[in-house]
Amino acid sequence: MQSRRRVRRARTSRWSTLLAGACAGTLLLAGCGAQATGDADGSRREAEPVAADIDCVGQGKVRGSGSTAQQNAMEHWIDEYQRACRGTRIAYNPLGSGAGVAQFQRRATAFGGTDGVLSDQEIKWSRDTCQGGRAIHLPMVGGPIAIGFNLPGVDHLVLDAPTLAKIFDARITTWDDPAVKKLNPGTELPSLPIRPMHRSDDSGTTQNFQDYLAGAAPGAWPHPVDKSWQGKGGGAGSGSSRIASEVSSSPGTIGYFELSFAASRKITTVSIGTGAGEPVAPTTETASAGIGAAEIVGEGNDKTLAFDYDAPKAGAYPIVLMTYEIVCDKGNQAASLPALKSFLSYTAGAEGQKHLAALHYAPLPAAVAKEVRRAVRTLS
């Protein structure tokens, strides 16, 4: 059987380009979501000692924009980095992956954050952005996409990829369906209609969830992988927050969202049967193991990851979202390059990764983080 190794690719959007232009000139203004340090009362906090793996470079300013999935991690990183490196200003604008890539392509930012891999066309365009080089992907933060459910009397549920695909494609419609009962022997499943919820907006979370379904259950999920939802039936809502709210309030509902939404709303989550050992619950540790099972397939200093759903690893949660920082391998903006390298070396280092689990993100596996730091050192 041919291995289903899938590289996640983002879709180019003309609307994303227009949105990017709307905020390009105001990236440091509050109205476009720029980040700043300081306490809620406006007072400045005392600078902490510089961590061993933060190499401050004096004065500098770095602008980035893109993925909302990494927004909380970016806020933490910027706060900690600027406490240590008081002469450097980092601003990140969480406009979404498509807009972040578009702003990077326009050289309005030094880096873009995206939950999907650039298309071949976007790589081609990046050669105009990166004079003498091209855009490369640096994986920086990951996390599990949790499958949350609301089923009275059931506090543990196992599903596998084919069953999930049929549920979210409206081909399994009741909770006591034989396919669900087979995966949950001994569990009293009610004869309650299943109400699957999906995102109505274009979403990297949707893209990665559908990538898993298509890769792990191609016979059950015949739809293309895209940022827009491709399945049939079910309810829809804009944003992970809306999906989580529907699941938490409506018995019989099931939906997908980042783990932090399940944790904050105390939503019970599905354990995934992968065929490799016991079913795996979504945690930062199991997601890190899932990322660690991926293979770096990018050429040169590009660190694109590919996930092989034919070879599941015991204890590895398979439905993960990976956010990449998009930078030029050559031809970066000279004024921001030293600070860019310093900041990305910190975020991919031990100091930058160690608090991510507390924020419900999955730290990079050590081997992947080492490769990212090596690539950052070569940026020019």
Determine the pLDDT at residue 243. Answer: 94
Angle value at C-alpha 295, between 227 and 136, nearest 5 degrees: 65
Task: Note the pLDDT tens digit of each residue in 226-250.
Answer: 888 999 999 999 888 899 999 999 9
Determine the pLDDT at residue 309. Answer: 81
Could you tell me if 113 and 104 are in contact, meaning their C-beta atoms sit under 8 angstroms apart?
no
Label residue 7 by pLDDT band (50, 70, 90). low
Determine the pLDDT at residue 5. Answer: 55
Determine the pLDDT at residue 140. Answer: 96
Averaged pLDDT of the chain: 86
Residues of the chain with CATH 3.40.190.10: 5-143+323-377, 145-288
pLDDT at 22 over 80: no
- CA 363 – CA 53 distance, rounded (Å): 16
- CA 117 – CA 115 distance, rounded (Å): 7
Segment among 27-31, 90-94, 153-157, 177-181 with least mean pLDDT? 27-31
Determine the pLDDT at residue 6. Answer: 56
Label residue 63 by pLDDT band (50, 70, 90). very high
CATH number listed for the domain at residues 145-288: 3.40.190.10
Please name the residues in contact with 286: beta carbons below 8 A apart, sequence gap of 6 or more. Answer: 144, 280, 315, 316, 317
User: Can you list the positions of beta strands (E) in the chain?
Assistant: 5-7, 60-66, 88-93, 111-114, 135-149, 158-160, 195-199, 235-237, 253-258, 268-269, 271-273, 295-296, 305-308, 320-328
Label residue 34 by pLDDT band (50, 70, 90). very low
Determine the pLDDT at residue 292. Answer: 84
Could you tell me if 291 and 318 are in contact, meaning their C-beta atoms sit under 8 angstroms apart?
no
Determine the pLDDT at residue 54. Answer: 83
For residue 260, report the phi and psi dihedrals to the nearest 5 degrees: -60, -30
pLDDT at 194 over 50: yes
- Calculate mean pLDDT across residues 100-118: 93
Instruction: Quickly tell me which residue has 């030029």 as its tokens.
Output: 328
User: Which of 5-9, 48-52, 276-280 ranks highest by mean pLDDT?
Assistant: 276-280
Determine the pLDDT at residue 293. Answer: 83
Q: In this predicted model, which residue has the larger pLDDT, 106 or 119?
A: 106
Percent of the chain predicted with pLDDT > 70: 86
pLDDT at 127 over 80: yes
* Homologous superfamily, domain 5-143+323-377: Periplasmic binding protein-like II (3.40.190.10)
Label residue 337 by pLDDT band (50, 70, 90). very high
For residue 354, report the phi and psi dihedrals to the nearest 5 degrees: -70, -25
Q: Computed over its alpha carbons, how large is the radius of gyration of the chain?
A: 21
**Verdict on whether the full-model pTM lies above 0.85:** no
Determine the pLDDT at residue 31. Answer: 33
- Calculate mean pLDDT across residues 276-297: 91
pLDDT at 47 over 60: no
